[in-house]
């Protein structure tokens, strides 16, 4: 058997071992990321402001609005809800200093949860 065939097989074997090692490492990292994401189910949200209001648009896929809960504590909002597959989402948002928390309203706009807070007029 020619020497290059042995060398080819040796290099091929080394490459396959490295690929297997990298695939295992990738799967390990992927599972860690999935665990972290599932541990902290934070929905996506967007913040807008106008002259009179602050708006928060929160995107929870297939939200069950009957489970929507908004708690105001100091200068922050804690929003929790579940989707239709019973997966819980929690979001903590710091509210601007000039927001009038007493005027908070929660509505649903299409698939989004909209939280509106008036600005205080000082």
Structure confidence by residue, pLDDT tens digits, 85-120: 888 888 899 988 888 888 999 998 777 889 999 998
- Residue 17 tokens, joined: 């071992």
Q: Quick one: pLDDT at residue 122?
A: 67
Separation of alpha carbons 103 and 7, rounded Å: 76
pLDDT confidence bin for 121, thresholds 50/70/90? confident
Distance of CA 6 to the CA centre of its chain: 51
pTM for the structure as a whole: 0.64
Mean pLDDT of the chain: 87
The pLDDT value recorded for residue 4 is: 66
Instruction: Tell me: pLDDT of 65 over 90.
Output: no
Judge whether 47 and 54 are in contact, CB under 8 Å.
yes
With tokens 């989402």, the residue in question is: 89
The predicted pLDDT at position 83 comes to: 85
């Amino acid at each position: 058997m020619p020497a290059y065939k042995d060398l080819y097989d040796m290099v091929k074997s080394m490459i396959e071992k490295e690929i297997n090692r990298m695939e295992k490492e990738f799967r390990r990292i992927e599972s860690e990321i999935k665990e972290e994401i599932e541990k902290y189910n934070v929905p996506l949200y967007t913040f807008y402001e106008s002259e009179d209001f602050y708006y928060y648009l929160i995107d929870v896929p297939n939200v069950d609005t009957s489970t929507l809960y908004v708690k105001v504590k100091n200068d922050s909002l804690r929003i929790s809800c579940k989707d239709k597959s019973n997966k819980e989402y929690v979001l903590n948002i710091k509210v601007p200093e000039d927001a009038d928390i007493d005027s908070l309203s929660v509505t649903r706009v299409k698939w989004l949860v909209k939280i509106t807070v008036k600005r205080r007029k000082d």
